[in-house]
Amino acid sequence: MNHTLLNERWRIRPFVACHMIALLLLATWLWAPGRALWDEFDLQLFALLNEPVHGAGLWAKIWAIGSMRLADLGVGLLMLAVMLKANLVFSGAQIRRGLYAFLAALLVMLLFRVGFAELVKLMGWQRPSASLVVEGAARLTELFPGWEERWDMKDSASRSFPGDHASVLLLWAMFMSFFARNWRLLLVWTMAVIFMLPRLVAGAHWGSDALVGGAFLALLGLAWACFTPFACKASGWMETVTLPLTRLLARLPLLGRLSVISGRG
């Protein structure tokens, strides 16, 4: 475990840096000249990603599957698998502490999300998604109406800012970046980018919903959880509270072999 990240003291420099980057991103989106650049970026990115979907072929089907609510569960399981695989990013003895620390950071970010949502509403920063604004946009729910009825696809939102889905992925990638090295670091960020794409391809979110709004929330969550004593203390507390359960589960034939339960590689 990276003890320079999880410890019981404040780390002022990275704490301040996270806030400065987050505020700078938001400022570029709110400042008129910067917003014009973001708007152009949003339109160009949406055209690039959404145009190939019009054919309703295999490419469109791939993104339609990725836009299903059920796919979000699969994404979560894959992210969890990377965290729980012994000696991929964490050693067997570090997995529980790493998992709990990330859950602590996620909780902090979700609390910021509640407050930020109210600020966005109050300031009138909200906007509809790309699929509802851009004329001629390919709508996955219209291309595959049968799938929509059965699997609940996400290709539009009346309030698209910030990108909640992207904020979780970015927080996970930022958190894992402190521990992953070499190709493992590339794996983490490749997964994060790929898993963000379905919402962008489908037009449920603009690019800046993810890169500004999502990153803003992820940076605040990371700062207040990992560069303060919170993640260290919360993960230690969760490990203590769940210890009786993990000891019980460790006696079971199959579950007991999992590193997150046994604490071994």
Query: 117-161, pLDDT tens digit by residue?
Result: 999 999 999 999 999 999 988 888 888 888 877 888 888 888 999
Looking at residue 134, what is its pLDDT? 92
Looking at residue 246, what is its pLDDT? 84
Residues 51, 136: Cα–Cα separation, whole Å: 9
Looking at residue 260, what is its pLDDT? 77
Q: Which residue has the higher pLDDT, 134 or 5?
A: 134
In which band, very low, low, confident or very high, does the pLDDT at 1 lie, cut at 50, 70 and 90? low
Backbone angles phi, psi at 238, to 5 degrees: -65, -35
Res 55 pLDDT > 70: yes
Peptide linkage before 162 cis (omega within 30 of 0): yes
Q: Which residue has the higher pLDDT, 170 or 239?
A: 170
Give the CA diameter of the chain: 62
Q: Which residue has the higher pLDDT, 61 or 41?
A: 41
Looking at residue 265, what is its pLDDT? 63
Res 20 pLDDT > 90: yes
**Averaged pLDDT, 168-172:** 97
Contact 188, 82 (CB under 8 A): yes
Q: Which residue has the higher pLDDT, 214 or 243?
A: 214
Looking at residue 4, what is its pLDDT? 55
Looking at residue 33, what is its pLDDT? 95
Lowest mean pLDDT across 35-44, 68-77, 149-158, 211-220? 149-158
Round the average pLDDT of the chain to a whole number and report it. 90
- Residue holding tokens 């969890």? 80
Distance of CA 208 to the CA centre of its chain: 14
Residues 173, 171: Cα–Cα separation, whole Å: 6
Looking at residue 22, what is its pLDDT? 97
Q: Which residue has the higher pLDDT, 262 or 127?
A: 127
pTM beyond 0.95, yes or no: no
Q: How many Cβ atoms sit within 10 Å of the Cβ of residue 189?
A: 16
In which band, very low, low, confident or very high, does the pLDDT at 93 lie, cut at 50, 70 and 90? confident
**Averaged pLDDT, 10-21:** 95
Domain edges within the chain: 15-262
What secondary structure, in 3-state letters, does the chain show? Answer: CCCCCCCCCCCHHHHHHHHHHHHHHHHHHHCHHHHHHHHHHHHHHHHHHHHHHHHCCHHHHHHHHHCEHHHHHHHHHHHHHHHHCCCCCCCCCCHHHHHHHHHHHHHHHHHHHHHHHHHHHHHCCCCCCHHHHCCCCCCHHHHCHHHHHHHCECCCCCCCCCCHHHHHHHHHHHHHHCCCCCHHHHHHHHHHHHHHHHHHHHCCCCHHHHHHHHHHHHHHHHHHHHCCCHHHHHHHHHHHHHHHHHHHHCCCCCHHHCHHHHCCC
Looking at residue 5, what is its pLDDT? 62
Residues 258, 254: Cα–Cα separation, whole Å: 7
Looking at residue 250, what is its pLDDT? 78
Q: Could you give the percent of the chain with pLDDT greater than 70?
A: 97
**Averaged pLDDT, 80-107:** 91
Looking at residue 59, what is its pLDDT? 87
**Averaged pLDDT, 12-37:** 96
